[in-house]
Chain A
Amino acid sequence: MATLELKSIRKMFSGESGVRELNLRIEDGEGFTLLGPSGCGKTTSLRMIGGFERPDSGRILYDGRDITDLAPQKRNIRTVFQHYALFPHLDVFDNIAFGPRMTQLEDSEVNRRVNEALELVEITLLAKQKIQRLSGGEQQRVALARALVTDPSILLLDEPLSALDFKLREKMQLELLALRKKLKMTFIFITHDQTEAMVLSDRIGVMNKGVLEQVGSPEEIYRFPQTRFVATFIGQANFFDARHAGFLEGASDKLPNLGDVGASWMLRPEALRLKHGKTPLYNGTVGVKGLLQDMVFVGEHRLAKIVDPLGRKILVKCADPSVGSFAPGSEVRVEWEAQGSWVVR
């Protein structure tokens, strides 16, 4: 078992950066991602879990045991650092053997474990290579092996894929996922890349300005964001609010109640449809007229930008190829299912 609990963690630096308040429980074997823009406090959070920073206040519990003041190596938690932090003066084998050699283990036992780790991440042939001669993907494997060889129960990964190019990133995402499933270990990721977060994790915690704005499964976060920030940080979002009331056509009475002042209906670009301004509205559909600004063909769909009567931009993903005939500057109507609207604060 390895559950991790963060209770009212606070760690502020001069200025506004740091972690304001963090409460979180990560379950055994979970893939959890802290997602947020740079400076949101996610790296500080990870460093506190890893033992490299002490929180100003709050407690960190591991299986209910307080580990707030434990040194990094005394926690059963290892970190895979951003850019991997491999020792440049040691070869692959010695990098991985660094941890085991710090213990009382016999040389033969060290060798056995290192070889096992090399096999696990499939780099046995690289054992005697210099770090400088490795590709980004190989370096990541070494970093993983170096952490895993010490047999931790939680692995922290700080921007594990940011150093890789696009193609390799996709491949390594899937490999990391497979590795996690195979080891049944808790992986805590940090990233600013939403796709990475979605692929890698069971749950995502979206951080902004030192607080967790929302925690949930990738689908929950995408479909039911609690705040405007979460809605725009994960994917693209269109917002309609009370000020649109006079311009709404069709079943606007079927829209969910906005409640709060400042709340709005959030709709993903793919939830919207683009129609000629004159076609009749179906039952239960809401529409807003606007001017088509431009449209781009991106393969599987067309991306259309529309300016609504309030002068705001609306982004629509059109799967229907017939919209290709719409001329920029023409009057169009954006429509969606009234009941499919999601209210965000």
Chain B
Amino acid sequence: MGRALSAPSDTLPALGDHRFAESEVAVQTGGKSPRNHARLRRQLFVVPFFLWFVFFIIGPIYVLFTTSVSHRSPYGVVERAFDAIAYPTLAEGVYLKVLLTTLAFAVGNTVFTVLLAFPVAFLLTRVGLKTKMWLLTLVLIPFATSFLVRILAFMDLIRGEHLGMELLYQPAGVLMALVYNYLPFAILPLYSALEKIDPRLFDAAKDLGASPFRVFTRVLLPLARGGLLSASLFVFVPSLGEYLIPELVGGGRHFLLGSFLQNQFFSARNWPLGSAVIVLLVLFTFMSVRFLPEEETA
């Protein structure tokens, strides 16, 4: 659908299109050397973005990478000497266990959050404008309150004396806190994906004899695929590095990547090992974004 809408623009030069920009300028100034000036001027516009990119993206990743392959002195000082020991170390049992526990929590969080977000997002596309605004406000209100206050309140909520069973410091409690915290991140991308689906498609499916279940599985789900993927990614990737929730709600009993990193950088002072983990996470994130369907990254 997205492609169908953007198709006519293929024939028109886009704003950033070189031919377009050049011919514009050529008409204005004529001649050859003014054209070179114009090109230079145009390239100057890119400089701030380029600098931003270098300082905030390339630079930090470069520092992390060099640290991860550096040597660590017995006192924890990073020495600039090539030593790729950090990566093989990560394959050791203790570290693998941390990685697997983290993955389990991240996957659990993603599954439950997206499952809960889907009906809410669908509802948002089916109500009137006024109701929609109210519901969206309700979804977003938690963002306006302090993260710490929310988590502390949540911890109180899931204590045994309130629920009849103790969830605080339990894996289930951590998962609940994660899901609660990540819901808006799944609802919003899902909503924007579902909103693009023409509701007449549901009528058409019904008219052709599809039961409500079939309308869901044959029309809604396939069309929501991109939205589901990006919502999953929005939840899964940041929950890999989740630190405060497992520390507070889990009482530090479940040793996850976040706490592990905190440890490596501040207590154990093994910066190369910590950096290696981050480099792998960045690589992983990069790969998953690459594999998103086209219309979702556009």
User: A residues bordering B, Cβ < 8 Å?
Assistant: 50-52, 71-73, 78-79, 81-83, 85-89, 98-99, 102-103, 131-132, 146-147, 150
Contact = CB atoms under 8 A, between A and B. Distances in A.
B51 to A, nearest CB: 39
B3 A83 contact: no
B205 interface: yes
B1 A79 contact: no
B214 A83 contact: no
Contact of B206 (A73, A89, A150): A73
A85 B200 contact: yes
Nearest to B218: A98
Interface residues of B, number: 22
B209 A150 contact: yes
B115 interface: no
Given A87-B219, A88-B223, A89-B223, A132 B7 contact: yes
Contacts, number: 63
Contact of B222 (A73, A83, A89, A102): A89
Interface of B: 1, 3-4, 7, 198, 200-201, 203-211, 214, 218-219, 222-223, 225
20 contacts: A51-B207, A52-B203, A71-B206, A72-B207, A73-B210, A79-B203, A79-B204, A81-B200, A81-B203, A83-B200, A87-B204, A89-B225, A98-B205, A98-B208, A99-B208, A102-B211, A102-B214, A132-B1, A132-B3, A132-B4
A99 B208 CA distance: 5
B208 A146 contact: yes
B199 to A, nearest CB: 9
Nearest to A96: B208
Contacts of B200: 81-83, 85
> Which among A50, A83, A89, A99 has the greatest number of chain B C-beta atoms within 10 A?
A89
A102 B205 CA distance: 9
A73 B203 contact: no
A320 B209 CA distance: 59
A66 B90 CA distance: 73
B217 to A, nearest CB: 12
**Among the interface residues B3, B4, B214, B222, which one has the most CB atoms of the partner chain A within 10 A?**
B4
Contacts of A87: 201, 204-205, 219
A99 B209 CA distance: 6
B208 A102 contact: yes
Given A73-B208, A102-B208, A102-B214, A85 B1 contact: no
Given A82-B200, A146-B204, A147-B207, 16 more contacts: A52-B207, A72-B206, A81-B200, A83-B200, A85-B198, A85-B200, A85-B201, A86-B204, A87-B219, A88-B1, A88-B4, A89-B223, A98-B210, A102-B214, A132-B3, A150-B209
Nearest to B204: A85
B1 A81 contact: no
Given A131-B4, A132-B1, A102 B209 contact: yes
B203 A85 contact: yes
B215 to A, nearest CB: 10
B201 A78 contact: no
A98 B222 CA distance: 14
Contacts of A81: 200, 203-204
A72 B203 contact: yes
Contacts of A73: 206-210
Contacts of A147: 207
